[in-house]
Structure 1
């Protein structure tokens, strides 16, 4: 990505996402993804690792969708502050829940990483939490579509 890559991406994000609410929702989601991937580094059980990587790939596939929702929301109701726009409050709520659920998904993966001995149900708890992330991103997309985005 070259020396100026991160600066250019930051400026592009400022233009597309603004510097307010939608940018924060986008960045929160990406911090959760980063955290989940960091957790993978310490997984020693190969079968568990493969299962968690599969979940990581599915969560990463949500990234462009979250960005698209945030970009479109910024276009419809620009935000440079922290005020939640009434017409897209549900979109923001769904994105916030998705970011929080992603953080708890990473936490569940970290707990599995620390488990001693065989894990009888594998990554079932991580799957359940990841499912909430998928549902909340879909809800944000649905609400945005209903709002005209």
Structure 2
């Protein structure tokens, strides 16, 4: 045990060990969120510096995250963002402001109709949890219409205006 501890604390190993430990926690937290967001279909893991998805609908097959569809990729990205924000909140000094919101500008315009439906459903399910405010920056009317409170930004050559829409 002393040899292992001595090896981990060496200056050339300690930073790698620390980063690997932080990544393990991040992936575990993100995996829990992704499992919830995907209705139990997916979990995340990592190996050799790459993120992998465990697909429970395909006999727990492990495959690269780049094989996910647009909506599934959004869910995985959102799960990682939520896990990272939780970790950052946990690292904040006592009495420091908490990170209780996230802004997403994910390029929603590139999603097909099915993926857009998955994204909208994911965001709606996230809103029911109530533990975080998620702001969405989008130019896609079909997505914007499903968000209950919206702020529309309009600009002309001299100024911009912001109008609140919704309850």
Greater helix percent: which structure?
A: 1
TM-score by length of 1: 0.30
Greater strand percent: which structure?
A: 2
TM-score by length of 2: 0.27
Higher relative contact order (CA 8 A, sep 6+): 1
Quick check: which has more Rg, 1 or 2?
A: 2
